[in-house]
Structure 1
Amino acid sequence: MVNLCSLYVNSASKEEYLDLNYVTNSPQLINSLIPGGRLEEIPAWICKLNSLSKIELKWSKLQNSPLEALQALPSLKELHLYDAYTGTVMEFGAECFLELKMLEIEQCNRLNKVVIRERALPKLQKLTIKKCDSLVMVHVTKNLLSQLEEVLVPQHLISIIKE
Structure 2
Amino acid sequence: MKHLLLSLLLVGLAASAQAQTQPAPAPKQPTVLRPGHMQAQRTPATNRPDVPPQFPGGAEALGEFFALNVQYPEAARVKQITGSVLTAFTVEADGRLSNATVVKGLSPECDAEALRVLALLPPWKPATRKGVALPVQVQLPVPFANSQIVEIEKSKTKVKFE
Same fold judged by TM-score > 0.5? no
- Normalising TM by the smaller chain, what interval? under 0.3
Normalising by structure 1, we get a TM-score of 0.21
Q: Which has the higher contact order (CA 8 A, sep 6+)?
A: 2
Which structure would you say has the larger Rg? 2
Structure whose residues are more often strand by fraction: 1
